[in-house]
Structure 1
Amino acid sequence: MKNRFSIVAILLASIIFSCSKDQGTTITTTPSPQPSVITPQNVRDYMVDHNATPATTALFYQLVNQSSAKNLVGQHEAFNSFYANQTGLSDLKKTTGKDPAVLGLDFMFITDKNNTGQADNWYYQQELKSIADAKEAFQKGMLVTYSWHLREPYLEEQFYTNTMTDQQKATAFKSLLPNGIHHNWFKAKLDKLASVFQTLEVNGTPIPVVFRPFHEMDGSWFWWGQNYATAEEYKTVFRFIVTYLRDVKNIHNVLYAFAPDASYTQANDYLTRYPGDDYVDLLGMDNYADFAVQQGQQGAVRANEKLIMLSNLAQQKNKIAALTETGYQVSATSSPISNWFSTYLYYALNESSPKIAYVMFWNNTQNAYYIPTPASGNTADFLQFTTKARCILQPQLPQLYTLPN
């Protein structure tokens, strides 16, 4: 409703301006309104869920406010993905002696068709492990985020499009719409998510979660990508996720993240598939391309310009901004890039002071890594990055789940 009145106001202003020009009248324009100041008292007014739990409300407030001075550093699946099959402490903690400030998790196995809910079922074991990791992270004061690599609704085997038929690619996402053939299937998946959100609690306190559904929608490697859904279809499904979880399932411990890949350089383009301020708490961006091999300082400059755009947009909308995925993967066939962390990435995050709440690296595997272990060739570079003034690991975290007086 607010957007509709805004459009009408703009049209009326244009007509008045046109008529005044014809009469030779000088027009004095007023500057654009400045973003409102978010306070502990009014913070819920700017959130998707006006009934958010106290800890979730505090998290939104803290992430908005601390981003002007600090970047939380995190990793996806840090507690359970290890380079060279070295289990135990997270690779980040092996290298730095500290846990990450952000833990990334995924609903992929939790909503898998093979999850039977039985104790001996591997997929159910991953569900329990994910819940345990979220609880551990929350108890350590860390931020918990969930992405969702949802399998396509036909065979439920793949989230990438390279093995899907043309027919499946053309119809999979559309089938989730309220009148689609897989809408009830989709609601059942959301019911499963709701049950997990309800399970995420410690001593009676629901764990706040940043939920990042259908990310990188500006590409077409996922079946929810731009080649397979119109902008309006994407917005409709995203809005349905929010309203179903919040209003039907009464889930109030979630912040909702909109996170395209790095194709957008202008705010208007970034907003092409944006569901609206009433459905998004966090404006994110995934960016690997600008940090790839041979991109160097030019890539860092491009990444920084995009983060400045993202930060400005988030401030205008009184939202959080974050670099929701990034990294450079080192493997047997890709050597470390000299000074990748301390020079290129740090420049992108901090030149001209964009307000970026956190940066999250993707997970390590047995054969490749994003976060180096102590014996890796780029460990010193990563340590230099994590000890820079703006970077925060778990021990330096502010009280994310407490509102100031």
Structure 2
Amino acid sequence: MSNFYLSDNLAHLQVLTLKQKIEKLSERGYAFGHQDSTAYGVGWRYDKESYSSDVFKVAGKFPLAYGFDIGQIEHNKDKNLDNVPFEDMRDLIKRANSDGGFITISWHADNPVSNGDSWETTNAVKHILKGGSHFEVYKNWIKNVANFLLSLKDEKGALIPIAFRPFHEMNGDWFWWGNPHCSTEDYKMLWLQTLNMLTGTFEVHNLLYVYSPNLVFTAKEYLLNYPGDNLVDILGLDLYQHGSVVDFKSILKTNVDVLKAVAKASSKPYALTEVGFDKVEDKNWWSSVLDETVAGKGLAWVLLWRNDSKKHFFIPYLDQLSASDFISYSKKTHVLFLGDVEN
């Protein structure tokens, strides 16, 4: 699968190293990931005095893949859309990288035309492309994104490599960059413009670029908005359980099979970039639903969404219904947590 071509032809060596590490993971199993895992959880938030995770509290180990979101960085705010201070996020990213984990970052950007949030779907994409009324607004947003990404350095001063996942779930209708709020061609232009601004204008060279639609059933659907093999490094897919176990397992299998086929054709690593079952209302969900469906499929990582509260969580907390099964799941040799692979 491995090739030395990256979307950013000036990418730093550590970016290629991260890509190769990700590819190696899929030969052993898949990395377990969690969004905002060390930033907060059910009943707690990071406070600089302690370092924890609901994953660690239940399973006794940390995830290998760490997800973060930089929504609100476009306005140069102090905190992201989930109230995580960017100063803390920077520290947590440095810690995760130092411990041997790897980082994936999404961006729930506000609507640049209406000033609403990501879910406010006033048409915006055509207005932020070059020549559009809000092009300069968007360029300034990318400058703020770049400044944050360029501040992510390890203890030796080297930039930390990041799997960057902008404008995800573009085939859904809930984000302003999604169908039907922009054409597929405008989406592709937005992707190219964003990559060119980051790499060319602002000299950000520590990113792998991740493309991740939501639910699909065919390769044609998956590739509808695809900007091209030369502009994407990793293929992802987001999928959540909303109905029955039987239906979800069937849909998940179909989606992973589509993802695998597309990835094999383009020689790229692939991952479930978001997945989960809100409140995990199935005591054996980890072993008999998730792992039973995705194990052995060649995925590089599987990232569960965030733990906001007892009303909205995707990883069990202590004594939660699925906690016992999660512990069993975490001991499977092909489910890779922090410490299960060499840094």
What TM-score, normalized by structure 1, do the two folds share?
A: 0.79
- Across the aligned residues of Structure 1 and Structure 2, the Cα RMSD in angstroms comes to 1.8
Residue 145 (structure 2) pairs with residue 200 (structure 1): no
Residues 86 and 229 of structure 1, relative CA distance in 2, 3 Å threshold: closer
Tell me the equivalent position of 1:375: 319
Tell me the equivalent position of 2:270: 321
**Matches of residues 85-104 of structure 1 in structure 2 within 5 Å?**
85=44, 88=50, 89-104=52-67
SS in 1 for 2:150: helix
Q: Please point out which of 379, 384, 391 is paired with 2:335.
A: 391
CA contact (8 A) 2:168 2:212 kept: yes
SS in 1 for 2:136: helix
Q: What is the rounded CA distance, in whole Å, between the counterparts of 1:244 and 1:388 in structure 2?
A: 42
How many residue pairs align between the two structures? Answer: 335
Give per-residue Cα distances to partners, 1:375-402, cap 9 Å, x unaligned.
2121011112221221011011333xxx
CA contact (8 A) 2:72 2:79 kept: no
Residue 214 (structure 2) pairs with residue 292 (structure 1): no
The structural deviation recorded for 1:149 is 0.4
- Unaligned 5+ runs, structure 2: none
Q: What is the rounded CA distance, in whole Å, between the counterparts of 2:44 and 2:88 in structure 1?
A: 18
The structural deviation recorded for 1:109 is 2.8
Report the more deviating stretch, 307-316 or 99-108.
307-316
Residue 325 (structure 2) pairs with residue 366 (structure 1): no
Residue 259 (structure 2) pairs with residue 338 (structure 1): no
**Matches of residues 3-402 of structure 1 in structure 2 within 5 Å?**
38=2, 43-44=3-4, 46-85=5-44, 88=50, 89-112=52-75, 115=77, 126-161=85-120, 169=122, 171-202=123-154, 203-262=156-215, 264-288=216-240, 291-294=241-244, 296-330=245-279, 336-350=281-295, 353-367=296-310, 368-399=312-343
The structural deviation recorded for 1:102 is 0.9
Q: What is the rounded CA distance, in whole Å, between the counterparts of 2:84 and 2:67 in structure 1?
A: 18
Bigger helix share: 1
Give per-residue Cα distances to partners, 1:120-157, cap 9 Å, x unaligned.
x5569711111111111110111101100000113423
Q: What is the rounded CA distance, in whole Å, between the counterparts of 2:331 and 2:249 in structure 1?
A: 20
AA at the equivalent of 1:231: T
CA contact (8 A) 2:29 2:336 kept: yes
AA at the equivalent of 1:299: F
The structural deviation recorded for 1:200 is 0.7
Report the more deviating stretch, 122-131 or 196-205.
122-131
AA at the equivalent of 2:193: F
Q: What is the rounded CA distance, in whole Å, between the counterparts of 1:137 and 1:308 in structure 2?
A: 30
Residues 81 and 293 of structure 1, relative CA distance in 2, 3 Å threshold: farther
- Unaligned 5+ runs, structure 1: 1-36, 116-120, 400-405
The structural deviation recorded for 1:111 is 2.0
**Structure (1 or 2) with the larger CA radius of gyration:** 1
The structural deviation recorded for 1:356 is 0.6
Q: What is the rounded CA distance, in whole Å, between the counterparts of 2:267 and 2:172 in structure 1?
A: 26
What TM-score, normalized by structure 2, do the two folds share?
A: 0.92
The structural deviation recorded for 1:348 is 2.1
Q: What is the rounded CA distance, in whole Å, between the counterparts of 2:250 and 2:27 in structure 1?
A: 19
AA at the equivalent of 2:56: K
The structural deviation recorded for 1:174 is 1.5
**Structure 1 stretches (4+) deviating beyond 4 angstroms?**
121-125
CA contact (8 A) 1:108 1:149 kept: yes
Give per-residue Cα distances to partners, 1:162-186, cap 9 Å, x unaligned.
xx6xxxx2x3122111111111111
The structural deviation recorded for 1:193 is 1.2
The structural deviation recorded for 1:86 is 6.7
The structural deviation recorded for 1:196 is 1.3
